[in-house]
Structure 1
Amino acid sequence: MVTLDFRTLTVPVGIVRMLEVIFTCISFSLVASVGHRTEPFWTWCMFTWCFCFCITILILVLEFTSLKSKLPISWDDFTTAFAMLATLMVLAASVIYPDSFACSTCSKQIGATVTSCVAFILYAIEVGLTRAKPGEISGFLSSVPGLLKVLEAFVACIIFICLGDYNYAQYPGLQWCVAVYSICFIFALIVILFTIGRLLSLFPGPFNKILIGCNVLAVLMYATAVVVWPLYSFKNNPRPNNCSQVVACTWNKLVVVSFMTCFNLVAYIVDTVYSFKLVFFVSTT
């Protein structure tokens, strides 16, 4: 039997989610009113706003009707992971869209950028509201290591997008870097999906210990990619003179990959240190 829970709409996280729906809707409506474009990054921005809008409405409806208890998933892990993912996606859209498509006289594009930035702030607030507090019992994705897993997977997706039209097969070193990105992404995705699906018991051993081992391995692999990727991708490849737009030029995409590789290395280091602290220090006190 479906019961309506009005309290879910009046608590802080419910109010924030309703505002997210409003501002993401305004963002894609303003952009759509300007006209359709075929550029991949325009499609990415529109997908981001529409995706976040739809999933946030779905979460509101499921919580309002109490149907979330009928789903065979860890609801808190799902909502926290989505809030983190939406924060990163909307942040990327808020940077990419004005850089590529807005101008000083484009009022609708500027308006869409502003509402997108507000939506990013709202999703960041939701992450803060749903994140596990110290000493609180919650799901893995509500903890700092869980949120870092979502961050690591998202950064890997950005790397894959930038690699879309680049021939990395010309050097074995670049192939190794792509293998690093792929292996680490697959493991992060498995952890996220298994956590949401309550399937962590299927791991062949203590989950925390396996997670630490894979994080250490990811740090070592990413440490090699930080050196190898720029060494081979920029070898005999100076910046073209016509490479003016940040996201449209292939050479600039290689710079983005280099930066994101360093960023993910730092994320995996923080993830490893935090996981070590939780397993070997907090659990023994």
Structure 2
Amino acid sequence: MGCCLRQLQLFSTCMAFSLGASVGTWKGAIGNWSMFIWCFCFVLTLLILIVELCGLEGHFPFSWDNFLITCNCYSALLCLSASIIYPIIYIQFFSNSHDWDRTIISTAFSCIAFVAYAMDVTWTRAQPNMITGYMATVPGLLKGLETVVACVIFVFLSNTSLYLHQPALEWCVAVYSICFVLSSVAILLNLGKCDSRPSIPFSVFQVVLTLLSVLLYTTALLLWPLYQFNEELGRQLQRSSDVNCSSRIPTSVCIWDQQLAVKPS
């Protein structure tokens, strides 16, 4: 079952990447993000399959099952993000039916990849005497989702003109970065079985980390829309005010859409 799912993952991510490349998806930041996800998941799954076929799982200094669940959970979350962002940005812009069909099919294969990775996690957890990895638990999935969403935010923040003009917006970017690092540390501690080494219990560490992240994200949630959509500060409140948003170029996302994308994330 695991081998069949690996093959489905390889095929679906390869097809999504190939079809995306055929319509020039790599030309924009959002397209680059989707292409990176499909390529990364394909390479990671291929390496996992090679390790399992060669029976090398026991040669690693960490729990292979925990690592496998972590990789599959992240791959599922990444493919899910690509399945949502890619069609929203690209499908509406392609008037050529041939490119439109390829974009639809590429999105479909991305969704298939997400389902395959999710099924892999479920199948791995269902094995007898399986010790559930941290990423397969609700707190682990939430931490993984937090880091994936942070990566999506960083894609939009690649345009530094969104925040360099205001210290408050720079603080928001710092918040996203700090919370991303803290969540990554928590995941790495569990993956490396180091969660019992800190001087305080890991459960207490998680609670403190969660409270700190909530406080930081709250400040960003308030400051980002206040300084990005405040007309008194010269910002554009309505999407129609941004002339770039009327452009029909699929390889770029207008400033107003980038500002809005970061806000709910």
Which TM-score band (shorter chain)?
0.7 to 0.9
How far, CA to CA, are the matches of 1:32 and 1:229 in structure 2? 34
| 2:69 and 2:133 in contact (8 A); partners too | no
| 2:25 and 2:32 in contact (8 A); partners too | no
How far, CA to CA, are the matches of 2:257 and 2:3 in structure 1? 40
Aligned counterpart, 1:140: 134
Q: Unaligned stretches of 5+ in structure 2?
A: none
Aligned counterpart, 2:109: 115
Amino acid of the structure 1 residue aligned with 2:149: V
Q: Which residue of the other structure, out of 20, 28, 36, is the alignment partner of 1:31?
A: 20
How far, CA to CA, are the matches of 1:139 and 1:193 in structure 2? 12
How far, CA to CA, are the matches of 1:154 and 1:94 in structure 2? 13
Aligned counterpart, 1:268: none
Aligned counterpart, 1:194: 189
The answer to whether residue 40 in structure 2 is matched with residue 51 in structure 1 is yes
Q: Which residue of the other structure, out of 223, 231, 234, is the alignment partner of 1:228?
A: 223
| 2:26 and 2:35 in contact (8 A); partners too | no
Count of matched residue pairs: 248
Aligned counterpart, 2:244: 242
Distance 1:164 1:36, change over 3 A: closer
How far off is 1:214 after superposition? 0.9
Distance 1:108 1:200, change over 3 A: same
Aligned counterpart, 2:260: 255
Question: What is the DSSP-based 3-state SS (H/G/I as helix, E as strand, rest coil) of the residue aligned with 1:169?
Answer: coil
Q: Unaligned stretches of 5+ in structure 1?
A: 1-10, 261-285
How far, CA to CA, are the matches of 2:126 and 2:256 in structure 1? 40
How far off is 1:43 after superposition? 2.2
Q: Which residue of the other structure, out of 65, 71, 94, is the alignment partner of 2:60?
A: 71
Distance 1:34 1:176, change over 3 A: closer
Aligned counterpart, 1:3: none
How far off is 1:132 after superposition? 8.0
Aligned counterpart, 1:15: 4
Higher relative contact order (CA 8 A, sep 6+): 2
Distance 1:132 1:159, change over 3 A: farther
| 1:174 and 1:229 in contact (8 A); partners too | yes
How far, CA to CA, are the matches of 1:181 and 1:197 in structure 2? 24
The answer to whether residue 183 in structure 2 is matched with residue 165 in structure 1 is no
| 2:72 and 2:118 in contact (8 A); partners too | yes
How far, CA to CA, are the matches of 2:180 and 2:146 in structure 1? 7
How far, CA to CA, are the matches of 2:19 and 2:40 in structure 1? 16
Aligned counterpart, 1:278: none
| 1:74 and 1:195 in contact (8 A); partners too | no
Aligned counterpart, 2:176: 181
Aligned counterpart, 1:282: none
Measured against aligned partners, the alpha-carbon deviations of 1:76-127 in whole angstroms (never above 9, x if no partner) come to 2222222222122212222333334443612333322221221122222223
How far off is 1:30 after superposition? 2.5
How far off is 1:248 after superposition? 0.6
Distance 1:154 1:37, change over 3 A: closer
Measured against aligned partners, the alpha-carbon deviations of 1:53-77 in whole angstroms (never above 9, x if no partner) come to 1111211222232211111122222
Distance 1:36 1:181, change over 3 A: closer
Aligned counterpart, 1:212: 207
Q: 1:145-156 alignment to 2 at 5 Å? A: 145-156=139-150
Distance 1:165 1:34, change over 3 A: closer
| 1:94 and 1:116 in contact (8 A); partners too | yes
What is the alpha-carbon root mean square deviation over aligned residues?
2.5
| 2:13 and 2:113 in contact (8 A); partners too | yes
